[in-house]
Amino acid sequence: MGRIDTGLTTKDLDSIGSVEELGATIEEGDVQAFIKMTLNTPQDAVSAGYFGTTSGRFRMVYPFTEQACLISGEVILTDETTQERIHYKAGDSWLYEKGTPVLWEVVSGEFVKHYLAVV
């Protein structure tokens, strides 16, 4: 494994279509998702990579436990269980447990994060 590439944008990732394809519910905008995998274990028990979207608002329940670091852009994440709302900027990181419902507000034109996910 190498270093996290902090210069990536969504143009460097592979398009996977609307975030609705991932089980999200879009609240505002035409939120498109992008990904680039860097690690995938058998049965996808652990994975890592880059993920980003275009601007907008969407709701998603975390399908895995994730530690992530924001590479570029700005997002406001609201844990809908606790109502904790945090504004993240490049360099910030977070941890959400599997099953956590989160409201995503992408306040910049796009964002990219590096993540490590455990099912």
Q: Dump pLDDT digits (tens) for 60-75.
A: 999 999 999 999 999 9
| Cα torsion 77, 38, 30, 99: sign | negative
Q: Model pTM?
A: 0.92
Number of domains in the chain: 1
Give the pLDDT confidence score for residue 39 in this predicted structure.
86
48 within a domain of the structure (yes/no): yes
Q: Using one digit for the tens of pLDDT, what is the confidence trace for 18-36? A: 999 999 999 999 999 999 9
114 within a domain of the structure (yes/no): yes
Give the pLDDT confidence score for residue 94 in this predicted structure.
97
79 within a domain of the structure (yes/no): yes
Structural domain for 54, as ranges: 24-118
Contact criterion met (CB below 8 Å) for 32 and 53: yes
95 within a domain of the structure (yes/no): yes
Q: Mean pLDDT, to the nearest integer, of 38-51?
A: 85
Give the pLDDT confidence score for residue 27 in this predicted structure.
97
pLDDT mean across residues, the chain: 94
> E strands, the chain, where?
14-18, 25-28, 32-40, 46-61, 65-72, 74-79, 85-89, 93-96, 101-118
CATH number at residue 39: 2.60.120.10
Residue 1 has pLDDT above 60, yes or no: no
Beta bridge mates, 86: 77
Q: Mean pLDDT, to the nearest integer, of 29-44?
A: 88
